[in-house]
Amino acid sequence: MSITAGCQKIDGYYEKTTDTPAYILSMVLDPRQKLGHFKKNWLLDLQGDVVKCVEDLFKERYTKLQGETAALHPPATVKTKLGILLRELSDDEEDTDINNADTRDLALEDPNCPWSREFHIYLDTPVETIPEGWTMIAWWGMNVHHYPVWASLAHDYLAMMASSVSSERAFSQGGITISKWHNRLKGDVVEALQSLKCAIRTNLIFREPGPSTISEGYEEDDGENDSEDEEGWDSLVIDAEAEDADNDAEDADNDD
């Protein structure tokens, strides 16, 4: 019974992720998975609901960025000679491949849906690889020119906190500082005390300061190298003098 109750509780919390589009869109905005999680774990009808939800948010943001004029009067699609040639060359392919290609091209070039091109390019391309040490925010910053509407959504939705733990921890620490024995502290004093406690806890005060600039770091490295070189020359001179003294002692012994 306890296991069943626990599973029901977890399922209830999992169902709450559909109450707001923030959870869904935040997962889609991860270029390393896009719709991968939903395709793997959600049913087909729920996957359709996810795409519809993301599509509505994307269209709304596109209209906001481009304006009503761009949404109502999109630029006409121009058929180039290269496009006609590619269609003629594709006549030898199988009918299924041609139909799929035509459907995809129509979805990308539909004059009534000018937003669909960027929408489908991001979702239909394979998942991306984020370089080591990068965050999703940095990745979207580098790809804002490729996906301007998606990047605008990422700017808003990825800024949301995934958990309230850090906020609750800050309130708990503030409650320790502002107790019933210290209930007349002003805001600037509380801020200073909290900052000081954080600095002490993370060892930001009692440690040697590092170089403030790159050039200062180079100067410190050069100084260390110079001291090592001086010690090296001194050791060579001392070794040479010791060797001469040993030779003189051997010569004296031989003379005796």
Rounded CA-CA distance 158/27 in Å is 9
* Predicted confidence (pLDDT) at residue 209 exceeds the cutoff of 60: yes
Of 83 and 55, the structure prediction assigns the larger pLDDT to 55
Contacts of 15 (CB under 8 A, 6+ apart): none
User: 129 with 169, same domain?
Assistant: no
Q: What is the pTM of this model?
A: 0.53
Ranges 32-41, 138-147, 200-209: which has the least confidence = 200-209
Of 126 and 68, the structure prediction assigns the larger pLDDT to 126
**Based on C-alpha coordinates, what's the Rg of the chain?**
34
What pLDDT does 253 receive?
63
| Domain assignment present for 86 | no
Of 99 and 87, the structure prediction assigns the larger pLDDT to 87
Q: Are 57 and 27 in contact (CB under 8 A)?
A: no
Model confidence at 179, pLDDT cuts 50, 70, 90, reads confident
User: 68 with 194, same domain?
Assistant: no
| Domain assignment present for 220 | no
Of 74 and 13, the structure prediction assigns the larger pLDDT to 13
Q: What percent of the chain has a predicted confidence (pLDDT) above 70?
A: 63
Q: Are 30 and 129 in contact (CB under 8 A)?
A: no
| Domain assignment present for 180 | yes
User: 154 with 172, same domain?
Assistant: no
Closest CA to 37 of 27, 50, 25, 49: 27
Q: Which of 116-120, 165-169, 222-226 has the highest mean pLDDT?
A: 116-120
* Predicted confidence (pLDDT) at residue 150 exceeds the cutoff of 90: yes
User: 132 with 31, same domain?
Assistant: yes
User: 68 with 176, same domain?
Assistant: no
What is the mean pLDDT of the segment spanning 122-141? Answer: 89
Q: Are 77 and 111 in contact (CB under 8 A)?
A: yes
Q: What is the mean pLDDT of the chain?
A: 75
* Predicted confidence (pLDDT) at residue 174 exceeds the cutoff of 90: no
| Domain assignment present for 149 | yes
User: 12 with 126, same domain?
Assistant: yes
What is the domain range of residue 182? 164-202
User: 116 with 59, same domain?
Assistant: yes
| Domain assignment present for 256 | no
| Domain assignment present for 246 | no
User: 181 with 63, same domain?
Assistant: no
Q: At what angle do helices 148-157 and 44-72 cross, to 10 degrees?
A: 120
Closest CA to 52 of 12, 18, 101: 18
User: 194 with 127, same domain?
Assistant: no
Rounded CA-CA distance 192/107 in Å is 57
What is the mean pLDDT of the segment spanning 181-201? Answer: 87
Number of structural domains (the chain) is 2
| Domain assignment present for 85 | no
Model confidence at 78, pLDDT cuts 50, 70, 90, reads very low
